[in-house]
Amino acid sequence: MVYGTIFVPRLREYPMEQEGREEEQPSSSQSDPAPTSDHKDFASTDSSSLCAELSPLEDIVFVDKQAVEKLTSGLISHYLPDLQNSKRALQELTQNQGILLDTLEQEITKFRECNSLLDMHSLFTEAKFYHNKLVSIRKEMLMLHEKTTKLKKRALKLQQQRQKEALEKEQQREKELERERQLIAKPAKRT
């Protein structure tokens, strides 16, 4: 049989626990299996160094390697399925978390687009307001243009009328002057 060394630290013992342990512990020759000759040398040569390293609260226990392997395989077979299930669950959670992060990023992008659409909506509203203002200014300008055109026509008519009146006055004055000339006596010519 092959034996290995395991260090088992003792916890602080209280008086009631010590009494119970004294009753439970069988003699040391029955509980500890005897080491083989290969390990006696190891135990004798290293026992002084091990004792120096160990505190008074620790004991040396010799355990069979087959028992250690069986205990290890039993422990692994007991906990490995749960650990594998946990691993699968964590992988699934990680995958779902990645999907959720992608979805969240898409939603954030949609909200940003929505905000930009609201900004564009307000921009279009403002553009519509200024367009209406421009249309009203254009209408006013057309009205002013029509008024100025009418005023220019009226001014031209008035000017033509004044010119006509002035021409008529001038013609009448010339007629009066001609009439006065005719009324003035002419001296007779001597022959």
Distances in Å between the Cα of 137 and the Cα atoms of 72, 115, 130, 150 are: 93, 33, 10, 20
Q: What letter does residue 184 receive in the DSSP assignment?
A: S
Q: What is the pLDDT of residues 135-166, one digit of tens each?
A: 999 999 999 999 999 999 999 999 999 999 99
Cα separation of 174 and 166, whole Å?
A: 12
Segment (H or E) for 4: strand 3-9
Cβ distance 32 to 62 under 8 Å? Answer: yes
Q: What is the pLDDT of residues 89-142, one digit of tens each?
A: 999 999 999 999 999 999 999 888 888 888 888 899 999 999 999 999 999 999
Residue 182 confidence (pLDDT): 82
Q: Is 124 helix (H, G, I), strand (E, B) or coil?
A: helix
Amino acid at 152: K
User: Which of 5-14, 72-81, 100-109, 175-184 comes out lowest in average pLDDT?
Assistant: 5-14
Q: Is 179 helix (H, G, I), strand (E, B) or coil?
A: helix
DSSP string over 14-70: PHHHHHHHHHH---HHHHSPPPPHHHHHHHHHHHHHHHHHS-TTEEEEEEEHHHHHH
Cα separation of 141 and 135, whole Å?
A: 10
Q: What is the pLDDT of residues 64-73, one digit of tens each?
A: 889 889 899 9
